[in-house]
Structure 1
Amino acid sequence: MKILICALAVVFVITKAECTNTNRGRVVCYFNNGAVNRPGIGRYGIENIPLDSCTHVIYAFIGVTDTSEVLVLDHKGDVENNGFRNFTSLKATHPNVKYMVVVGGWDEGGGKYSKMVSSSTSRTIFTSSVVDFLNEYDFDGLDLDWEYPGAADRDGNPEDKQGFLDLINELRVAFDDVGKDWLLTAAVPMTKSKLADGYDVPGLCQALDAVHVMTYDLRGNWDGFADNPSPLYRRPRDQGVYENINVEDGLQLWVDEGCPANKLVVGIPFYGRSYVLSSSSEHDIGAPIDTAAGGADPAPYTDSRGVWAYFEICSKLKDEEGWIRKWDKDGKVPYAYRENQWVGYDDPQSVKRKMEFIKENGYLGAMTWSIDMDDFRGLCGKANPLISIMHSKMKSYTVPEPNEDNYLEK
């Protein structure tokens, strides 16, 4: 059927991205280049990436200049110390893996991106700069993580929605013209308001090779109560604005808005959101927290208040007395607490369930932010347990073919 659909591309105006969609389930590993600066056993370099478990590895991050060109954010690490070149040189030993780079991220803000997409001239400057950059460092494609088009609180404006679509279409044409089979993907949110403000879902999904849905950070210290950042399913307690803020409903929203399921890659966090409870006697999901604290104390290696890597979480449960792990039977995710310290996260049990969910619904695969927060040194058992599960569940998974109706409607 796939061959037939692609043969009829002239009739149905199917893009190259749709025809080259692989049948193999994807395991997309985001690599945080800043992890090389973590102390001691927390340090994670390019040499630590488990390439046998990833189908795609994405180097994070590059940015955008005020003049709409590619911006190297860490010149010392990425250029002087050959971060980019060392990364893409991994092709020598693992040529079947795709080596991409992501532009954007939360810290980049949104104003520069809104300005860049606002005119044909600035989009052309950016597109040309990207082509030169990918050629120079031998990357296999670009992932766009603009957070978020059209978001007023991120210096966006209503015109971003069309501008972002125009940019994606122009990048698609430019990449195809290069003739190197470069991939074009995007990391996207999963709430109805953000999609309405900045994402032309059918248009984006037609042009992109894959859509990386950020189904994490769905809860955090900002909500005023303790919860897991990535519940798989809706729970009875999820009411009002929280009713559809879960992995299942977020993915279904993209499908309902016009994106074929086999273009969607499901995000799984390799970190947890930590909190300081208001009372050490109340520790279930939804327990009130001390929001002024900004999350629990930083863990020793990631050194970030409110965010702990999985390897730091499992080490606490293994080595520190008093920690109690609980399972959210409705959301299918774990959490743990000790006195007034609380953390919601993903572990082998929840990752296995999410991978089954991906296969049950015909999604393209899974991605993680970020690979360097797995238990890569085996502090709690076998090394790289989470990404190993993702790989084991995807290696024999055949992604269902797209529904022809999706193309006929276009």
Structure 2
Amino acid sequence: MTGSLWLSLVLSLAIFAQFQVNAASNLVCFYDSEGFQRQGLAQFSMTDMELALQFCTHLIYGYAGVNADNFEMQSINKRLDLEQRHLAQVSSLKERYPHIKFLLSVGGDADLNDGNQYIKLLESGQQGHKRFIESARDIVRRYNFDGLDLALQLPRNKPRKVHGDVGSAWKSFKKFFTGDFIVDTESETHKGQLTSLIKDLKAALNQNDLLLSLTVLPNVNSSWYYDAPSIAPSLDIINLGTFDFLTPQRNPEEADFSAPMYETVGQNRLGHYNVNFQLEHWLLQRVPANKLHIGIATYGKSWKLSKDSGDSGMPVVTATQGPAPAGPQSKKEGSLNWAEICQLMPNPSNINARGPGAPVKRVIDPTKRYGSYAFRAADENGDHGLWISYEDPDSAASKAKYAKDRNLGGVALFDLTQDDFRGQCTNDRFPMLRAIKYRLL
């Protein structure tokens, strides 16, 4: 074979390999098992799970926790996981869906047993790390999962007011660099400890051909805790929590886009509160793009508007009063699932409603750069004001296209139980999941 023919063959194989990477984009589906215990329309059944699995490449079961005394991984809901055998019930689906990888996640903001046990785990040394690793591997193997997901609950960035004049922005800048915003003075030490833990954990899991994924939770400063070039070879998947940059709990007095695609300009907003910045942080550290997954939330963040918030709805919205009341299904202040948001849009059943049932005004972002929002101005008594930053199937599909265009591993959906899995709005079950999958094909 001539040299030119060899060159042509090599180039053809390279192009084919690149096509394969693009064509095999992952859709990592997070499943918060709490959804199985909800009541009414919010209750997520195994039948719902099986419909969703037609679209997923990975299913991540959430969540296990860490025992703060002995650093072993443990169930944080023994009644559901063990007594009702839900862990085994979910992992048994592997038999019918052999193409899907099932992983068990630890942390994920669900582990409330001790607020600092993950830092304590890092500081526990070789003995503590060994106990965690052995217990994690044992649980994963016992329940026939394909691997482990680390969604470690590490200290978060302190929330900062993003709106204000140049003077206030300069004060925030000075505070950041003089230490007022430092939440962990030992972060460099913890970074090294976490690197060791990840490498040792992967070595142990490799003995049983098990996967290891990392989920970076929202507002955890990646540069403080993750030595990206050192840990990337030990990780099969990296899921970035690229949402909840602003929330009514962290930012009660002003509302803004909670998961913009790119930096939002004006009003002295912070430049790192966007998907693109967070992704570039990892790519610039030579982490392979095909290991990275951007996170998309199936819920929106909701603020309560006051009379002083005005009636334009245009963010940044000031004079907000923290989280809006919980929705009838998700029952969590400041958060609404997609079905709840969709049903607040004008429709025949609410067009003449007043008070908390009145429709919201929907404002779509035609650029796909920042996100959509919806709002209802407070009434003359200052009541029933509502502002929501959210994803819808269109914006989720746009982010999936971004992931595909950047040759990323794919998308991580947080989570299945917050999508409109019953088709309450359009009779189309799992509309966000479907929209993402079709754009990744």
**Max Rg structure:** 2
The structure-2 alpha-carbon separation of the partners of 1:239 and 1:190, relative to structure 1 and needing over 3 Å to count, comes to farther
- The one-letter amino acid of 1:52's match is Q
Query: Deviation at 1:131?
Result: 1.2
1:145 paired to 2:174: no
The structure-2 alpha-carbon separation of the partners of 1:170 and 1:71, relative to structure 1 and needing over 3 Å to count, comes to same
**Structure 2 CA distance for aligned equivalents of residues 290 and 332 of structure 1:** 20
SS at match of 1:335: strand
Query: Deviation at 1:368?
Result: 1.2
Query: Deviation at 1:46?
Result: 3.3
SS at match of 1:134: helix
Query: Deviation at 1:289?
Result: 3.8
Query: Deviation at 1:110?
Result: 5.6
**Structure 2 CA distance for aligned equivalents of residues 103 and 83 of structure 1:** 16
**Structure 1 CA distance for aligned equivalents of residues 320 and 46 of structure 2:** 37
- The one-letter amino acid of 2:247's match is G
User: Does the 8 Å CA contact 1:31/1:372 hold for their aligned counterparts?
Assistant: yes
1:130 paired to 2:126: no
1:112 paired to 2:112: no
**Structure 1 CA distance for aligned equivalents of residues 110 and 98 of structure 2:** 32
Equivalent residue number for residue 179 of structure 2: none
Of the two structures, which has the highest relative contact order with CA contacts closer than 8 Å and spacing of 6 or more? 1
**Structure 2 CA distance for aligned equivalents of residues 132 and 327 of structure 1:** 48
Q: Deviations over 1:9-57 (max 9, x none)?
A: xxxxxxxxxxxx9972110111111112222111113331210011001
Question: Please, which of 297, 305, 327 is the counterpart of residue 364 of structure 2?
Answer: 327
Equivalent residue number for residue 257 of structure 1: 285
Q: Structure 2: where are the runs of 5+ without partners?
A: 1-6, 11-20, 158-181, 352-358, 378-384
Query: Deviation at 1:214?
Result: 0.4
SS at match of 1:328: coil
Q: TM-score, normalising length from structure 2?
A: 0.79
1:228 paired to 2:257: yes
1:358 paired to 2:403: yes
1:285 paired to 2:352: no
Equivalent residue number for residue 204 of structure 1: 231
Equivalent residue number for residue 188 of structure 1: 216
User: Does the 8 Å CA contact 2:363/2:373 hold for their aligned counterparts?
Assistant: yes
Q: Deviations over 1:258-316 (max 9, x none)?
A: 3121111010000000011233524112111434xx31110001100000001111112
**Structure 2 CA distance for aligned equivalents of residues 134 and 200 of structure 1:** 26
**Structure 1 CA distance for aligned equivalents of residues 438 and 23 of structure 2:** 16
Percent sequence identity over aligned pairs: 27
Query: Deviation at 1:157?
Result: 4.8
- The one-letter amino acid of 1:116's match is L
CA RMSD of aligned residues (A): 2.3
Equivalent residue number for residue 14 of structure 1: none
Q: Deviations over 1:228-277 (max 9, x none)?
A: 2111111222635x112101111011111231211110100000000112
Equivalent residue number for residue 45 of structure 2: 45
Query: Deviation at 1:155?
Result: 10
**Structure 1 CA distance for aligned equivalents of residues 218 and 117 of structure 2:** 22
Alignment map for 1:6-405 (pairs within 5 Å): 24-49=24-49, 50-66=52-68, 67-108=70-111, 111-118=116-123, 119-148=125-154, 153=183, 157-178=187-208, 181-189=209-217, 194-221=221-248, 222-223=250-251, 224-237=253-266, 239=268, 242-278=270-306, 279-291=309-321, 294-317=322-345, 318=347, 319-321=349-351, 322-330=359-367, 331-339=369-377, 340-381=385-426, 382-394=428-440, 396=441
Moved over 6 A (4+): 149-152
Equivalent residue number for residue 10 of structure 1: none
**Structure 1 CA distance for aligned equivalents of residues 223 and 216 of structure 2:** 12
Count of residues in correspondence between the two structures: 371
Q: Structure 1: where are the runs of 5+ without partners?
A: 5-20, 397-410
- The one-letter amino acid of 1:207's match is S
Q: TM-score, normalising length from structure 1?
A: 0.85
- The one-letter amino acid of 1:229's match is S
Equivalent residue number for residue 400 of structure 1: none
